[in-house]
Amino acid sequence: MDFIRDYADWFYLIGAVLFILTLRGLSGPKTAIAGNRYGMIAMAIAVLTTFFVAENPVVWMIVGAMVLGAIIGIARARTVPMTQMPETVALMHSLVGLAAVLIAVAAIIHNNELAKLDVGLLQENGVNFHEMGKVHLFELFVGCFVGAITFTASVFAYGKLAAKKWAKTISGTWVKPVQALIFIAMFAAGIHFFLTGNMTSFWAMTGLALVFGWVWIAPVGGGDMPVVVSLLNSFSGWAAAGIGFTLENNMLIVAGSLVGSSGAILSYIMCKAMNRSIINVLFGGAMGGTAVAVEAGDKAPRNHRSGSADDAGFLMSNADSVVIVPGYGMAQGRAQNAVKELANLLKEQGVTVRFAIHPVAGRMPGHMNVLLAEADVPYEDILEMDEINSDFPATDVVLVIGANDVVNPAAKDDPSSPIYGMPILEAHKARTIMVIKRSMATGYAGLDNDLFYNDKTMMIFGDAKKVVEDMTKAINGNGH
């Protein structure tokens, strides 16, 4: 395969262009399928090219790992429910970070073996070993500690999203000083490793980075987890890019940089949608929810108005316009197909139906978009917050399905609320609001929602899928 070796850079260039087209395709729902195809082709080119240009590869180990990974990946993709997609994404990010750490460890051991060679012999071939070593040490320093932080932080994010008992939120005045001490110690060990090549410092840096990743994410509140997932996606990309420099693999550098930059941009967009800075999300702990939830529970009971699916069906069938606001409750109830049937039935009766999506709805970026796409909801019916907010005052009925914090009016009118200033879907401005929830429990951020006690709001309690199906039957039963 001398041909592939001779033109490896060209194959990598083609793959890099395809990765850029992948991101372009994934920027919109209509082009997402094509974007995914570009990405698969690019990855196939990258893997095959790297396989053939590698010097003396251990074929059985490489092929065995690829087959095992493919089996696990396909099995997981076929069985994972949409409610578990956020934690699955976080778990995949952890594997990228772990891979970066393992590659760094392998590279530093290999580098130490090179150090045993005759330095004079290397210089005779036009190579200065000392300078080469310094460059590699810096690359390993960056790639390893970023990968280690990504690994443990992503594992904790997985545990928190999956409601695992071991993923407990930590809080207290001691948290930030401990975070600072661990980070300083990690960075100092890394610098010492870079300057001296001392392996003890390398292991210390790696161990401290693993601890820091956990302690860093553990205090972050549940309401901020979508931003954390996006940021960890960015970190995994930068870790991959750093290791790409170590392995002198241009494709890995480009692909990692694309993932890292796109994840960083998405994190910025989501923070802007929450009217918060990334520093506040990661170190402020403003949406931890626990203290707020307890405080809210101490308040006197508030009155709310409840209704039935039949009442909701009657109101929607006699409306001119309906806006559906999906939230995590729709994912939890696997109600997206039932919601699509309800929307189609209302359209047949001449009702204008649209979907309103908040940037941080659900528990990962784009969670609601993925659910609606799975149910084949037309893309033109799905509107982002900035596109739909001005239409709420003229909307007859808003149907909120399991959403909480993203429609909470406290963000607009309660300066004491932790989410004050966060842009929301202004569902409270509609003529009638209907909310499907299992109970009056608080949302993921632990905040009570003033919308549920609005005079225009009717609460409908039950499983989202069952309630929506009952609404559809009620509309059919009305003779429409």
**Mind listing the pLDDT tens digit for each residue in 362-400?**
777 778 888 898 888 998 999 999 899 999 999 999 999
d(CA 84, CA 462): 21
- Mind giving me the DSSP string for 319-346? -SEEEEEE-HHHHHTT-HHHHHHHHHHH
End-to-end CA distance of the chain: 68
140 touches 186 (CB < 8 A): no
The DSSP string of 279-297 is: HHHHHT-TT--HHHHHHHH
- The residue that leads in pLDDT, 434 or 118, is 434
Question: Residue 211 above 90 pLDDT?
Answer: yes
> How sure is the predictor about 294, in pLDDT bands with cuts at 50, 70 and 90?
very low
Residue 254 to residue 23: CA distance in whole angstroms: 12
CB 458 within 8 A of CB 432: yes
Cα gap 86→371, rounded to integer Å: 12
**Is 405 assigned a catalytic role?**
yes
Q: What is the mean pLDDT of residues 48-65?
A: 84
Q: Find out whether 100 and 145 touch, Cβ atoms under 8 Å.
A: no
Whole-angstrom Cα distance, residue 352 to residue 350?
A: 7
Angle at 288 between CA 145 and CA 187, to 5 degrees: 20
433 φ/ψ angles, rounded to the nearest 5 degrees = -120, 130
Mean pLDDT across 211-231: 83
| Rounded Cα gap, residues 480 and 476, in angstroms | 6
| pTM: predicted TM-score of the whole model, two decimal places | 0.74
Please tell me which residue in 320, 381, 405, 450 is annotated as part of the active site.
405
- Measured over the CA atoms of residue 81, residue 87, residue 92 and residue 98, the dihedral's sign is negative
Write the CA distances from 27 to 30, 42, 387, integer angstroms.
Answer: 9, 17, 17
pLDDT in tens, 231-246: 888 988 888 888 788 7
Residues 6 or more apart in contact with residue 461 via CB below 8 angstroms: 306, 436, 437, 438, 439
